[in-house]
Structure 1
C-alpha cells in the first residue's frame, strides 16, 4: 500500500480552516502538499463556529478580575459557562492556569499577542477567498456588540479600553439608531458598539470546503485518514500511522485542533490543550431579518445571518472529548434568541456541539518543533480559529520556507511551544 502513496513535500494534519489555510499558503510557495484528517474539510470546529472574522478579538476571555466572576457564571442556569461535576478535577489544573493568566501584566501581553495576529484578518480572508473562487461564502460587514444601555457598555470598559489601545475603531449607536440598524432587536436593548473592518462567513463549512476544492484543483491531495501515531526512525518523524496505512512524510504541519495534543506529546512535550466545548443552534425559518452579526454582550453569544438561517453560537463547557452534548444548552440558546428577537420563530432549528482547542493563556502555538526541524505547529486558536486561518497559514508557510517571518513582520515568540 505504501508504494501507492506518492511522496509530497509537506503533510498537514487537519482539514479545518487552520489546516486548509496552511495547505493553500504552502502550495502558493511551490510545495506539494497533502492534507490528512479523519473528517472531510470543514466538518470539525470549523463547521459550527459563529462565523465572525473578529479583529476585535484581542481581548481574552480571562480579563483581570475574571476569577471573581466564575461562581456567578457557573451558578447562573442561563449563563455561558458550565463544568460538569465529574469533570471538575480534570479541568482544575487548566482552570487555575487560566485564572493565573488573567492578572493585569499578563493580560496586556496576551492582548498584544492576539492583536498582532488579528490585524487585517478580514482583508486576508477576502484575499484568500478571492484567490480560491470562494467569495460567495463571506462578506465584509460591521460587527455589533449589543448592550441594554450605555451603563452596561461602560461596565465592560476594561475590554473596550484594551481594544481602543490596539487600534480597534467603532461607532456608538443608541436608542433609535439601534432599531434603525437592526429592526428585529428587542427594544430592551438600546446601545450598540458598531465595529469597523470586520466580516463573517455566511456558511463556515462551505467556505472551508470551497478553499479545499481550490487546493485540490491546483494539485493538492486530501486523504480521509484517522492518524493513530507518528513513526520515529533514529528519533526523526518518518511516517504517519493511520487506520488504513503508513504514510511517509518529509515535512509535517500539525494543525489538528484539540487532537493536536497527543501528537505534540509524542514529538515534543505535553501541552495544556483543553477542549472548550461550544454550542450553536441554527434557526432555519426565523421569520425576521438580521442584517449583520451581533454579539449579545449579556449572554456572551453571537447571532449571525447564515445561508441556513440565523445561527446563535457561544457558551463554554469543559467536559472533555468523549461526553455527549449537554441537551440543556440548546434551551439556553433558544432563551437568549427569543430575548434578543421577540418576533423570532424558533420552531425549526438544528443543534450542534464542537471542540474549541484552547490553551490557558489564550494564545495559539505557531512554531517550529524544538526537537524536529521538519515539524511545524499551528494549534490552540481557541475562539479565534476561523478569524486566524489565513494569517496562520501565511506564518506557517513563511516559517517553513525561510525559517523566519520577516515577510509578515510578526514576532512569533509569544506563540512558541516552549512557553509551556
Structure 2
C-alpha cells in the first residue's frame, strides 16, 4: 500500500482518489477550494462520448480572426492579454490541420468514447449515482448545408465507429417540440449521458472518498519534496504531507508545480461561460450543442444550464459581459418559447494544452510523480477514465490502451532535480 497525495479536488483528482482506494492505497487530496467548486462545477455536464474532434481543425487559422472581430461569434479575446498569449497560440495553431486533427482524435479516442460506463462504475453504489442520466447528445444546425460544413469532424467520428441520425424540418420539432425554427437540422447521437448537477456530483464522489478514509486538506500545494529521485512529500502551507506517490490534477493551475518537476507544458486557460436559467418553462429533451453558438444547453435539476464560449484573457481578469449576453441571445433563438424564473452566471477556466491532449502518466526521472491535467473541454467526460489510468500506473499495472500520446515527457524541459 502506498501513501498518495493528490493535488486537485475536481473530477480527475476525486476519481483518482476513489480508484486508488479500491486498490488499498492511503489517499490525501489537497485543493485551494472545496471539492467540485472549480471547473468541475461549471461545465456543460455532458458525458460527451463522441467528443474526440479537436478545435484545431483545418481552416481554423483563416476563421479565427474574423470571429474575434465579430461580437456575435463565440470567440473572444481580451486584447491586452495577446502578447502573453502569443507563444502558446503559435504552438496551438500549428496543429490546425487535417493530419494533426486526426492524430489528436486518435489519442482522445482512447479516453473518451466509454465515458458513460466509466462514470457509472466510479459512482455505482454511492449517492453520486443519482446524478447520472442516460440521454442522447444532439447537435443543432441551421440547415443541412450547415451540418455538411462540419463534414471533416463527422468523418473523424465515423472513422472511429460512431453513428448518428440526421433529422430535418418538421422532424426536428417532432423529436423535440422545444426547438425553434433556427434549428432546421438536428444530428442525434445516441448512447450518451449527462450529469444533472456537476458540482453536487463531484462533491458526492468526494464525500464517498472521505467516508472510505481519504483525507482532504484545504490549502495550496507549493512544492513536491524529493530524495534520491523519488517523491517523499508535498508542502502545503506550513505542513509537509509525507507520501510515496504524488498526482498533480489541478487543471490550468497545474503549470507551476509541473514546471518544478521539469515539465514545461504550454498551458492556457480557455475561459468558459455559463448561464443557468432557473425553473425554465421548456427544456430540450437531451443535451443540445447549438453549432452556430458553440454552446451546450443541458437539462439539469430545476434549471437549464447553457455553457460554452471561448475567451482568452488569462486567469486573473474579471468576466466579460458580452459572452453572457451572447449566450442568452443564442438560447432564445434555439428555444424561442423559453421563459424562466431567475438567472445565474458563471465563468471558469478550461485547461488547454497547446497540442489539445492531456498529460497522463509518470514524470520521467522522478519516481512516484504522476500528472493528470490538460483536458480542454472533456475534463468531466474523461475524468473517471483518467483516474483509473493513473491508479493503474501507480499500482504498476500496464493500462490496456495506448496512452503514449499523453506522456508528460513530450514537454520535458530539463532533468528534474
TM-score (norm. length: structure 1): 0.95
Q: Does 1:207 align with 2:198?
A: no
The question of whether the paired residues in 2 share the 8 Å contact of 1:268 and 1:371 is answered with no
Shift of 1:131: 3.5
Deviates most, 335-344 or 378-387: 335-344
Offset from partner CA, 1:132-166 (integer Å, 9 cap, x none): 33221111110000011111111110011111111
User: 2:26 — aligned with what?
Assistant: 32
Q: Does 1:336 align with 2:330?
A: yes
CA distance in 1, matches of 2:158, 2:296: 21
The question of whether the paired residues in 1 share the 8 Å contact of 2:167 and 2:185 is answered with yes
User: 1:386 — aligned with what?
Assistant: 380
Pick aligned residue for 1:224 from 205, 218, 226 = 218
User: 1:417 — aligned with what?
Assistant: 408
Query: Structure 2 regions of 5+ residues with no counterpart?
Result: 412-417
TM-score (norm. length: structure 2): 0.95
Q: What are the residue-to-residue correspondences of 1:148-163 with 2, within 5 Å? A: 148-163=142-157
CA distance in 2, matches of 1:326, 1:8: 45
CA distance in 2, matches of 1:346, 1:79: 25
User: 2:299 — aligned with what?
Assistant: 305
Shift of 1:181: 2.1
Shift of 1:8: 6.4
- SS at 1:252 equivalent: strand
- SS at 1:60 equivalent: coil
Are residues 308 and 226 of structure 1, via their aligned partners in 2, closer, same or farther at CA, if it must alter by over 3 Å? Answer: farther
Moved beyond 6 Å, runs of 4+: none
CA distance in 1, matches of 2:235, 2:144: 56
The question of whether the paired residues in 1 share the 8 Å contact of 2:165 and 2:187 is answered with yes
Shift of 1:205: 0.5
CA RMSD, 1 decimal:
1.5
- SS at 1:392 equivalent: helix
Q: Does 1:78 align with 2:72?
A: yes
Deviates most, 251-260 or 232-241: 232-241
Shift of 1:24: 0.6
- SS at 1:279 equivalent: strand
Offset from partner CA, 1:341-375 (integer Å, 9 cap, x none): 11212562100011101101111000101121111
Query: Structure 1 regions of 5+ residues with no counterpart?
Result: 1-6
Q: Does 1:277 align with 2:277?
A: no
Q: What are the residue-to-residue correspondences of 1:75-154 with 2, within 5 Å? A: 75-154=69-148
The question of whether the paired residues in 1 share the 8 Å contact of 2:52 and 2:112 is answered with yes
User: 1:23 — aligned with what?
Assistant: 17
CA distance in 2, matches of 1:112, 1:102: 15
- SS at 1:116 equivalent: coil
CA distance in 2, matches of 1:371, 1:269: 11
- SS at 1:118 equivalent: coil
Shift of 1:226: 1.6
Shift of 1:259: 0.9
Q: Does 1:363 align with 2:357?
A: yes
Are residues 308 and 233 of structure 1, via their aligned partners in 2, closer, same or farther at CA, if it must alter by over 3 Å? Answer: farther
